[in-house]
Amino acid sequence: MSKHTQQLAAFLAKLSYEQIPEHVLDRTEDLFLDWLGSALASEGARPIPLFEAYAQQMGPADGPARILVNGRGTSAYFAALVNGASSHLVEQDDLHNSSVLHPATVVFPAALAAAQDLGKSGRELLLASVAGYEAGIRIGEFLGRSHYRIFHTTATVGTLAAAVAVGKLLDFDQQQFIHLLGNAGTQAAGLWEFLRDAADSKQLHTAKAAADGLLAAYFTEQGLTGAQNILEGEQGMAAGMSRDADPSKLSDRLGRRWALVETSFKFHASCRHTHPAADALLDLMQREGLRHQQIERVVARVHQGAIDVLGRVTVPQTVHQAKFSMGTVLGLIAVHGSAQLTEFANLALQDPAVAAFRDKVQMRLDPEVDVAYPQRWLGRVEVITTEGRTLRGAIDEPKGDPGNTLSRAELEDKFRRLLAFAGQRSSDEAGVLIERVWRLRETDDLSQLA
């Protein structure tokens, strides 16, 4: 068995709440609020009611864990399933750059559901969530860029990240974490092909990752053994899912590097691969005083990962698919100056000016941008004006990145906008939820958190 997997499992087993620095706990609360808003913003939106109906059909009539979008009690498994789906729909959940993993949408649904089921406190929830982030990010980095070209990392690695969070709530020792990784890793799945058809599978990815991670932890606690070398074995995840796996990433500065605080918040309500170009175009247009009618053509200079994901979408058929269309996102930025939830809902598919601008946009692989990725997501655009001028825009840290992050005031504002978009909760209710999240460390009863 790899020493790196052993070191990761030992770190997870020994990690205590007291070892986590204050700024890491603060950021975990920030990320939790951001995730909660994403989950609640999806209320009533397709395909979330399908997941709710499935939970009602197959799950218990009541239970200790809560489905966020409807408040119903159910088992931990079905709460993790629905909450995992709902928090990834509006494309406002977080992203860790170098692992290309959306940790919140898999870690928090599993951790919160299990914490409610097991009667754990807010402090224990935070500890478990940190463990899930730290493990998931490192496993994502381990599997490398080649994994992401075919596999949706949040679906595959997310299963292990969710499992680790629940395993921490169950107080697993080092050997149990080894079995847990084996039981979670053998379930890991999720392919990008759904984007070509505007299919709903992306929500199934995160739903199953959260629920299957929880399942793996509960089974492991009962004594179910798992593969001892699921990450690096001859028939393990790296062998089947990667061409550039780096085992040293699994144990990278454990206890010294807190990877959780490297996680980025989403500002625009679209695939993160569109954000660097969106910020660069917005900055250029503001700097030059340009209107969209003055732009003849835009070249977004991007990394290969952006082409692999966004290149599948030419003319989007749904709002969700529009969030993976570079032309649509840049069209919203150019025409309306914003690519938030309301712009996508009301304008992305309906506005002829956005559609016309979409046809002016092309992506081109840029060596500088590609070499920096995934550690850094650089924004580079070239704009050719109707007058024949060539203008260039550059952003090194998109809005939401650790070096250009959202303050707590901005996160609260984003949370209120997310809830207002769903239209099911008042501003006063949003304020109550914000206060509850900021007091997680003092909370003993998580049953009524949301």
Q: What is the DSSP letter of 270?
A: S
The reply to whether 287 and 384 lie within a common domain is yes
Q: How far is the C-alpha of 244 from the C-alpha of 252, rounded, in Å?
A: 16
Q: How many CB atoms lie within 10 A of CB 365?
A: 12
Q: Which secondary-structure segment (H or E) carries 328? A: helix 326-336
Q: How far is the C-alpha of 10 from the C-alpha of 173, rounded, in Å?
A: 8
Over residues 161-189, mean pLDDT = 98
Instruction: Say whether pLDDT at 87 is over 80.
Output: yes
Exposed, middle or buried, 420 (CB in 10 Å: 0-12/13-18/19+)?
A: middle
Over residues 181-208, mean pLDDT = 95
The reply to whether 118 and 190 lie within a common domain is yes
Structural domain contains residue 35: yes
Domain boundary (378, 395, 412) is at: 395
The reply to whether 45 and 170 lie within a common domain is yes
Residue type, 131: A
The reply to whether 74 and 110 lie within a common domain is yes
Structural domain contains residue 337: yes
The reply to whether 262 and 276 lie within a common domain is no
CB 107 within 8 A of CB 167: no
CB 161 within 8 A of CB 103: yes
Question: Bridge-partner residues for 382, per DSSP?
Answer: 299, 392
The reply to whether 145 and 44 lie within a common domain is yes
Q: Which residue in this structure is represented by tokens 């159910």?
A: 74
pLDDT computed for residue 448 by the predictor: 81
CB 284 within 8 A of CB 276: no
Q: What is the DSSP letter of 228?
A: T
Segment 29-53, tens digit of pLDDT: 999 999 999 999 999 999 999 999 9
pLDDT band for 439, please (50, 70, 90 cuts): very high
Least confident of 23-37, 273-287, 308-322, 344-358: 308-322
Structural domain contains residue 338: yes
**CATH number for 358:** 3.30.1330.120
The reply to whether 316 and 213 lie within a common domain is no
Q: How many domains does the chain have?
A: 2
pLDDT band for 172, please (50, 70, 90 cuts): very high
The reply to whether 291 and 429 lie within a common domain is no
Please confirm whether the linkage preceding 47 is cis (ω < 30° from 0).
Answer: yes
The reply to whether 252 and 344 lie within a common domain is no
pLDDT computed for residue 329 by the predictor: 98
Structural domain contains residue 339: yes
Structural domain contains residue 89: yes
pLDDT band for 198, please (50, 70, 90 cuts): confident
Q: How does strand 361-365 pair with strand 295-302?
A: parallel
Structural domain contains residue 410: no
Q: How far is the C-alpha of 232 from the C-alpha of 27, rounded, in Å?
A: 31
Q: Of 187, 124, 186, give the one whose Cα is nearest residue 440.
A: 124
Structural domain contains residue 403: no
Q: Of 274, 269, 283, give the one whose Cα is nearest residue 358.
A: 274
**CATH number for 108:** 1.10.4100.10
pLDDT computed for residue 314 by the predictor: 86
Q: How far is the C-alpha of 94 from the C-alpha of 264, rounded, in Å?
A: 6
Structural domain contains residue 404: no
The reply to whether 88 and 181 lie within a common domain is yes
Residue type, 373: Y
What is the value of pTM for the model shown? Answer: 0.96
Exposed, middle or buried, 193 (CB in 10 Å: 0-12/13-18/19+)?
A: exposed
The reply to whether 350 and 233 lie within a common domain is no
pLDDT over 90 percentage in the chain = 96
Q: Is 342 left (phi over 0), alpha (psi -120 to 50) or beta?
A: alpha
Segment 102-156, tens digit of pLDDT: 999 999 999 999 999 999 999 999 999 999 999 999 999 999 999 999 999 999 9
Q: State which residues form the domain around 192.
A: 3-266+420-442
Segment 290-335, tens digit of pLDDT: 999 999 999 999 999 999 999 988 899 999 999 999 999 999 999 9
Instruction: Say whether pLDDT at 449 is over 90.
Output: no
The reply to whether 342 and 436 lie within a common domain is no
